[in-house]
Amino acid sequence: MRNVILVTGGAGFIGSNFILQQMQGGDDSNLIINLDKLTYAGNLQNLASIATNRRYEFVHGDIGDRDLVRPLLEKHKPRAIVHFAAESHVDRSIRGPEDFIRTNVDGTFALLEETRAYWNALPEGERTKFRLLHVSTDEVFGSLGPGDSQFSETTPYAPNSPYAASKAASDHLVRAYHHTYGLPTLTTNCSNNYGRFQFPEKLIPLTILNARDGKPLPLYGDGKNVRDWLYVEDHCEAIATVLRDGRPGETYNIGGWNEKPNIEIVETICDLVDEMAPRVGGRRRALITFVKDRPGHDRRYAMDARKIERELGWKPKATFESGIRKTVRWYLENDEWVRNVTSGSYRQWVATHYSS
């Protein structure tokens, strides 16, 4: 019997890192099915190294397409689903929230319904072992003041952006499917990730590439909003840990114990790019440009990740210094990847979003 995991959104930033990490271990009894719609954020180039591997299969489709998901589950009989698929960029959710509701809320609902039907029909032994792991975010908890304690698993939800609200809705649905139907679900809420394959609309890759090219480095508001940054490989290991050892129905906060104001992130990147790709025109810090703030911009996120450490023994391995250095180097060395993702619709987004 094959050990099958269905991954949704596996062509995106975190999903592709997760799949590559999973493919490093295991044996021929393992199979990963990657169901991805390939939106602007999905990129099969991330997975080119395993594209023909017999332990991996790509399925192009929408999690909301129940006529696709149903036979997929019946055919492959996964023992777990790891649900990454989502619209994930806050600024896009402000400009156009509809796709966020369609995928994050309706899509998760459709996936849950099909999973429930599939799980109900499984033989008893497999029903107990089955898991659906829902990958979520710290943004569902809202915004912290400077002296507030970090978000814990029991912090009340207070989402502030359409993105955060759509993820909060999906978290609630997952919770209800466990509580009402007994579906063995696990939810992880993670802080901001960084690393290879992140689409350059997000702060860190955007800053690296603009710094490389000598373009302005846009900081919203006063640049002092705080995020808790986690290296993506650590997040993927945390997800694997929760999938293996997490208790059904529980939620686990994942974070990097690494709170930093945006200005500090951008300055660090400037200095690394100066070091790795010196420029005649002077230091990159001079490119920092304060721009109009994001509407409803959450001031501070910070995760209390003690539960996952205490109960499951996970804690981040990378320091910010090591992770950001590797990340800057990766973007500077992978020009073909960068060129492929920064064409057409990406340019359009940057032109529209930063025009004022």
Positions annotated as catalytic residues are 138-139, 163
Helix runs in the chain, H state only: 13-24, 66-76, 90-95, 98-100, 108-120, 124-129, 162-181, 203-213, 232-245, 262-276, 306-312, 320-333, 335-341, 344-353
103 binds, among ligand TYD, ligand NAD, none (CB under 5 to 8 A by kind): ligand NAD
User: Sign of the CA dihedral 327, 333, 336, 342?
Assistant: positive
Asked whether position 262 contacts ligand TYD by CB under 6 A, the answer is yes
Instruction: Report the C-alpha gap between 188 and 175 in whole angstroms.
Output: 12
Q: Rule CB under 6 A: which of 163-192 touch ligand TYD?
A: 192
Residue 136 in the binding site for ligand TYD (CB under 6 A): no
Q: Which does residue 218 touch among ligand TYD, ligand NAD, none (CB within 5 to 8 A, set by kind)? A: ligand TYD
* Distance of alpha carbon 301 from alpha carbon 82, whole angstroms: 24
Q: Which is nearer to ligand NAD, 166 or 284 (CB)?
A: 166
Beta-bridge partners for 31: 4
Residues 214-233 that bind ligand TYD (CB under 6 A): 218-220, 225, 227
269 touches ligand TYD (CB under 6 A): no
90 counts as binding ligand TYD under rule CB under 6 A: yes
Q: Which is nearer to ligand NAD, 122 or 158 (CB)?
A: 158
Query: For ligand TYD, which is the closer residue by CB, 293 or 335?
Result: 293
Q: Are 6 and 73 in contact, with CB atoms under 8 Å apart? A: yes
d(C-alpha 168, C-alpha 173), whole Å: 9
Which stretches of the chain bind ligand NAD, using CB under 6 A? 8-9, 11-15, 35-39, 41-42, 62-64, 84-86, 88, 103, 107, 135-137, 167, 190, 192-193, 199
Burial, 347: exposed, middle or buried (Cβ in 10 Å; 0-12, 13-18, 19+)?
exposed
Nearest-approach distance from CB 218 to ligand TYD, in angstroms: 4
Give burial (CB, 10 Å; 0-12/13-18/19+) of 260. Answer: middle
Q: Which is nearer to ligand TYD, 13 or 118 (CB)?
A: 13
Cβ distance 283 to 247 under 8 Å?
no
Q: Which is nearer to ligand TYD, 122 or 291 (CB)?
A: 291
Which stretches of the chain bind ligand TYD, using CB under 6 A? 90, 192, 202-203, 206, 218-220, 225, 227, 262, 294
